[in-house]
Structure 1
Amino acid sequence: MRIRKADRVMVPAIIALSIIVPVAVLVLMYLPQRYNLFNAQLGSFPFFHAVLNFSTAVLLITGYYFMRIREYKWHRNVMIGAFVLSSIFLVSYVISKISNDPVPYGGEGFMRPVYFFILITHIALSAIIVPLVLFTMYRGLTGENKKHAAIARWTFPVWLYVAVTGVLVYVFMAPYY
């Protein structure tokens, strides 16, 4: 099997980004000091992130619909939109972690384990989604439809779960911001 010339560049780049992004986010969460970039207020970030996650979920479902009815140009455009929103989320999330101290969850009782289950699965799958999305986008945009479809079967439900649970984390945390 011959390796495509573009794959020699893109596959290592995707792997590198897939390692760098989660590690950078993890490091930023544990910064000893915060640097309030753009003089942003904490309250503005979580709601913005929830809107981005909700919008991404809507675009993912819409993109899936267009794929199912074989409207592939619409599918491509909507999925690029979901990727753009997720990228904006990631940049904004990094800025928020640099700028603001973490806010602890203050809930009690039954909701506490529910929240932490959602949070932990959201965080774990957020790291996994980076290479899945990048490889899925790459294979789709290069016209490698069989490879695209094979990985998209995994990417779609994980990405949708991450987007929806991102909104749920906001709903759980809203009283504490």
Structure 2
Amino acid sequence: MEAQENIENEKKYNKWIVALSIIIPVAVAALFGIKLKDFGVDIEPLTFLPPIYATINGLTAIVLIISVNAIKKGNRKLHEKLNKFAIALSVSFLLMYIAYHMTSNSTTFGGEGIIKYVYYFILITHIILSIAVIPFVLITYVRAISNNFLRHKKIARITYPLWLYVAITGVIVYLMIAPYYA
């Protein structure tokens, strides 16, 4: 009976999960192409943001690793706090990423040869998985707050490596393109 009740608690969040999983990538894509200067907003390019949001990606990866270690040691409260922190970090990253791209021109990768293909492989997988991980993070979180820990654990085994990959590759993409920032 309790398991069914937990699933019912999850279901009330499904519309939000679907909506956010669509709205976030669409909004990022739309805002990525908008420059505030085009709307008469006189703002200096926020060129200081990339190293900050790359650091946030790195911190997210560290927090995720510590979080998994905490739950493996049975420390559910720490695990919960760290995952909430990881979500907050990801939201902070996203806001800074959008702000940067709304005020600055995109930087073109200048590497040549095999490194160019490596860069674009990492970049493309990073982008695709950063979109794909959104519903996984939301579902994993909802299952936890709905006290459906068996289902939470099952999906967390998928969410964790995806989210970790996105966080780590975010740092790698930054490090690879940093020499080409204007």
| TM norm structure 2 | 0.89
Indicate yes or no: 2:157 matched with 1:150. no
Deviation at 1:53, TM superposition (A): 0.1
Question: What residue in structure 1 maps to residue 36 of structure 2?
Answer: 35
The root-mean-square deviation of aligned C-alpha atoms, in Å, is 1.8
Instruction: Pick the aligned partner of 1:18 from 18, 21, 29.
Output: 21
Maintained 8 Å contact 2:63/2:82: yes
What is the rounded CA distance, in whole Å, between the counterparts of 2:45 and 2:78 in structure 1?
A: 37
Deviation at 1:103, TM superposition (A): 1.1
Quote the sequence identity (%).
39
What is the rounded CA distance, in whole Å, between the counterparts of 1:106 and 1:118 in structure 2?
A: 15
Deviation at 1:74, TM superposition (A): 0.8
Q: Unaligned stretches of 5+ in structure 1?
A: none
What is the rounded CA distance, in whole Å, between the counterparts of 2:116 and 2:159 in structure 1?
A: 28
Q: Tell me whether 88-97 or 123-132 shows the greater mean CA deviation.
A: 88-97
Instruction: Pick the aligned partner of 1:89 from 78, 93, 103.
Output: 93
Maintained 8 Å contact 2:33/2:102: no
- Within 5 Å, which residues of 2 pair with 1:13-162? 13-31=16-34, 34-35=35-36, 39=43, 41-162=45-166
Q: Residue 6 and residue 64 in structure 1: after superposition, are their counterparts in 2 closer, same or farther (change >3 A)?
A: closer
Q: Tell me whether 127-136 or 154-163 shows the greater mean CA deviation.
A: 127-136
For each residue in 1:86-133, what CA deviation from the matched residue of structure 2 results, as whole angstroms up to 9, or x when unmatched? 111111112222222211111111210000000000000000011111
Q: Unaligned stretches of 5+ in structure 2?
A: none
Instruction: Pick the aligned partner of 2:168 from 160, 164, 167.
Output: 164
Output the amino acid matched with 1:88. S
Maintained 8 Å contact 1:29/1:102: no
| TM norm structure 1 | 0.91
Maintained 8 Å contact 1:35/1:98: yes
Runs of 4+ residues over 4 Å off in structure 1 = none
Structure index of larger Rg: 2
What is the rounded CA distance, in whole Å, between the counterparts of 2:76 and 2:171 in structure 1?
A: 28
For each residue in 1:52-108, what CA deviation from the matched residue of structure 2 results, as whole angstroms up to 9, or x when unmatched? 000000000000100111111111111111111011111111222222221111111
